[in-house]
Structure 1
């Protein structure tokens, strides 16, 4: 996923289906300089991760 699209998803008022390694996730923050995203699995919000944007997929 590119930086611009990830930021659009973060800013969207509607929930957009995004996965990381096959798990549905929520994007909390996008760092445009490092091209990383702060995410968490929808069913485990306490398990926050920072991952490369290119590992995220929109469905």
Structure 2
């Protein structure tokens, strides 16, 4: 996923269908410099993790 799209999803109040390794996730924050995203699996906000943007996929 590109940086701009990840930031748009993170800022949007509308839930996007995004997965990381096949698991639906919520994007909390995008770090443009490192191209990393702070995410957590849906329903598991205690399981935050940082992942590369290219591991995120948007499904329409």
Structure 2, unmatched stretches of 5+, are: none
1:28 aligns with 2:35: no
- Runs of 5+ consecutive residues of structure 1 not aligned to the other structure: none
Report the alpha carbon displacement of residue 43 of structure 1 after superposing the two structures with TM: 2.5
1:10 equivalent in structure 2: 10
- Which deviates more, 40-49 or 18-27? 40-49
TM, length-normalised to structure 2? 0.94
Question: What's the Cα RMSD here?
Answer: 0.6
Determine the structure 1 residue equivalent to 2:44: 44
Number of matched pairs: 59
* 4+ aligned runs moved over 2 Å, structure 1: none
Q: In the alignment, what sits opposite 1:19?
A: 19
- The alpha-carbon deviation at position 41 of structure 1 amounts to 0.2
CA distance in structure 2 between the aligned counterparts of 1:46 and 1:13, rounded to whole angstroms: 20
